[in-house]
Structure 1
Amino acid sequence: MIRVSAPAKLNLALHVTGQRADGYHLLDSLVVFAVLGDGLSIAPAPKLSLAVTGPMADGVPTGPDNLILRAAALLSPDLTAAITLDKHLPHAAGLGGGSADAAAALRGLARLLGCALPDMPSVLTLGADVPVCLSSSPQRMQGIGEVLSPLPPLPPLWAVLVNPRVAVPTGAVFNGLASKRNPAMTAPHWTGFDDFIRWLSEQRNDLEPPALTLAPEIGQTLAALQDSGAALSRMSGSGATCFGLYQSAAQAADAARRIADTQPGWWVQDTEIQTG
């Protein structure tokens, strides 16, 4: 039995810098990963199968379009294994859950087969977030997701992730952009928590304004995080999950409790950010 983690992906900043002729958007994003996430268990079996368990299992497709099964087919069309996805992240929430699951499947199945991972162009066929999720380490992600650069060491970080349980279609968010040619991030540089927050506050998530138009609940979520004492709050990816950043585990845990108490219908989780 092989067990592989699929940590939640957070876009702490996400700048849309252009659009290619084929429709793919060009991005410049600071990507980190939480300790919180999904998990996969993989075992040898006479045929390929996928089962889904966990608190967020409902609604996860298990047919051939599932990214985990597509990842398996990418490694080998004849691959056989019993895969179980323990689903903890909400669906279509701006946390890269499907991409993280696909990346975890690639890592685990490659170990099972004793083979190399696919090349970058092949991995990109699964989605723009899958290459960075394969690394599961802090990265600057550019291009359509294929240009990955290491970052300066991150300070210790904790986050509260909040999803108001509203659906925000990614396509509609991108279509709502006022401009698809926006300035890139400034060069990443910081020496500690305060310096990091100062630098990050000068960056953006260009998808946040159109997402707010589609789902005003995102504004309520950001306000709740800011009121909880977050050093910075922002939407992750195309939403609707938002994050607040904190300097200690105790601060994050206290903020998560207070938000969950006032908004019992929201998905609220505190987590440590992986800094390396």
Structure 2
Amino acid sequence: MRYLLSLLVLLCTLTTSCSQPQVRFTPEEKASFERLLEQMLPQRELPMDQLVVQTALLKLGTPYVAGTLEQDPEMLTVYMDKTDCILFVEMCLAFSLTLKEENPDFESYCDNLRQLRYRDGVAEDYSSRLLYTSEWIRQASDRGLMEEITAEIGGIAWPQEFSFMTTHTDSYRQLKEDPSLVEKIRSAEKYLNSFEYYYIPKADIASCEHLIRNGDIICFNSTTKGLDIAHVGYAYWQEGRLTFIHASSVEMEVVINKKPLTEYISGIKSNNGIRVIRLK
């Protein structure tokens, strides 16, 4: 059975048209996409923020699995039925973008996913992946897909520094195996260090949460030196309380967080506040 599954994955990879970038997926993942597409097509006229929320709600219960992209060689890898926090946000957004197209299909979904995940939409090597969430946000913002509203709704300046990956190369298999990638990552860090950043401190979230809407991307600001974002999810108002939908490494699946946002983050010592991104 394991041999058969590996063969199917290989066939899906190799049968991609020579003129198209390679994609790693299984027939089960494509079938899962088709089922979700059938469910969501009647709602395709909804605004983007509502589309991502409806998609996220349909993915409740999806297992949390870390490290699914850490495969060689580097290429777009597609999973619909297992995810981590950033891949969950990315999946829901890519799927919603696909729904807005005239003829949504799996190929267009893969293209939208690639454009979000890789620098300039090109899967060249590990370093071409947008490994810092801030760069993921910036590229999508430059494409007109979203905008950061942290400062606008009450955020204050944060002296964000990017250096974690190049100062902790032993934590990344690809960087240990190919040191030449480190300089490429360092260039991305230098680029990110040229911008100003804002965050909403934990103590201030309650006073400005009324300005946060369903479908906004909530980014949990990390206090780890050189690192930007520790976790992400979609803002979700439930029974008058602001919480969020996310792939939880505690509950090991996609959930609507049981605690309100302010209560949740108050218990996370490694997060000092949030950044808020609004979809367009």
Q: TM-score normalised to the size of structure 1?
A: 0.27
Bigger helix fraction: 2
Bigger strand fraction: 1
Q: Quick one: higher RCO (CA 8 Å, sep 6+), 1 or 2?
A: 1
Q: TM-score normalised to the size of structure 2?
A: 0.27
